[in-house]
Amino acid sequence: MSTRWVFLVAAGLLQGLHPDIAIEVKTCQAIRSVLNVMREGVKTLMEEGGVDEQEGLLFLKVIESKMKWLKSAPPRFQIPSQRKILAAIPWIDKDMQVVDYIQNVAQRIVFQYNDRIVSVDDPPSGIHVIISGLVRVGRGLLFACIWSLVSGRPSLTDSHKTLLQVVSPISPQSKTTMQTLDYLSTGNVVGEISELTRRPRMATLICETTVKTLYMSTENLETMFLYFSDLDPPLKSRLWQVCAIRVAANVLSKISSYVNVPREMLLSRLEDLQVRHVTTPTVDITREMTDVVLITGEAIDQKNGDIYIAPCFIPSRVKSLRFPNLNAPRAVNPTLCYTLGDTGLGPHPSRLQTVSIMDTSMGSSDKNM
């Protein structure tokens, strides 16, 4: 079990016994993570000559003094109310009208230890906002293997098909053997991506403690999106943006150009991610479009016929994509996301080189529901 998982499990269990202490621990961890990113950023600027050495050392001294303060005198916080938990969800973005709407419409559900909130292959039926408790994210070994094969690949080539054929004969018992992928706790939302893409659930969520959630059905979600369609940007567009960033970060972290990039820095790079819902049979990939990821649907390279199945990275050699299943019945149209220009991490290596299958297979796995 990784250090991150150990921390999440301990914090989730602590949440049930001493929620005030759990909040302080998680907040300190978040602050320290931000300070670490700032420190590495200053060091990078010093190495590249972006700041004078004396100024850089002064910045480092200030950052390290804050780290020492955080360790010796950690901040204290009150247990957040349900309203504050909802307001902190990225796509709600502290909009209290949306918060009040969810509180009035959502169903309050209490799950007991070992209950399943959702299971692999369940159809999308709504979202759960975790108010308290610890949830384990798992997936059958076969599903996990197929997901890892497809999610980070540039295309479904003959090599992929061969690998899938090797995986397919795995015994039926392996389909039900759960592989733990992550842990979720207070403030996490379950099922957003399935609701947007209309795909079956890609993971099983099992309660490790008593868990309280706010549940909104698919019908209630669609009504809410329509009700708040006049927001700028509309509520559904906010949700697409958040989910696209999450999927893109998972996909890009598996390619060789980003394997060693800290996740916080990668997420910072994707802050201004552009989300494009495809409505035309073809889309040209321009030189300005970098870090291109297919979020939903299937695409074909116009030049050589390579097939790309979402979620996947679109390499730099691709100049134009064709979408064979556009406007298919009961399906969500393909969705692309990409960044424009340089966002602060130097050149865009993901568009300057072609990523091979062996490169992507070396990336670390990540979960996505």
Mean pLDDT, consecutive 10-residue stretches, the chain (369 aa), reads 59 59 68 82 86 88 86 70 92 94 95 90 92 82 44 39 39 53 86 88 87 94 95 93 92 89 86 92 92 93 93 93 84 88 46 29 37
Q: What is the pLDDT of residue 113?
A: 85
Q: What is the pLDDT of residue 118?
A: 92
Closest CA to 273 of 289, 255, 260, 287: 289
Q: What is the pLDDT of residue 99?
A: 96
Q: What is the pLDDT of residue 37?
A: 82
CATH of 82-227, one of 3.30.300.30, 2.60.120.10, 2.60.120.330, 2.60.40.1930: 2.60.120.10
pTM value surpassing 0.75: no
Q: What is the pLDDT of residue 36?
A: 84
Measured distance CA(339)–CA(183) in Å, rounded: 29
Measured distance CA(154)–CA(79) in Å, rounded: 44
Q: What is the pLDDT of residue 359?
A: 31
CA-CA distances (angstroms) from residue 346 to 95, 105, 246? 35, 46, 21
Q: Which residue, chain included where needed, has tokens 């394997």? A: 259
Measured distance CA(60)–CA(48) in Å, rounded: 16
Closest CA to 334 of 277, 262, 268, 256: 277
> How would you list the strands of the sheet with 116-118, edge to edge?
116-118, 204-207, 135-140, 178-184
Q: What is the pLDDT of residue 6?
A: 62
Q: What is the pLDDT of residue 186?
A: 85
Considering only the top CATH level, what class is 251-361? mainly beta
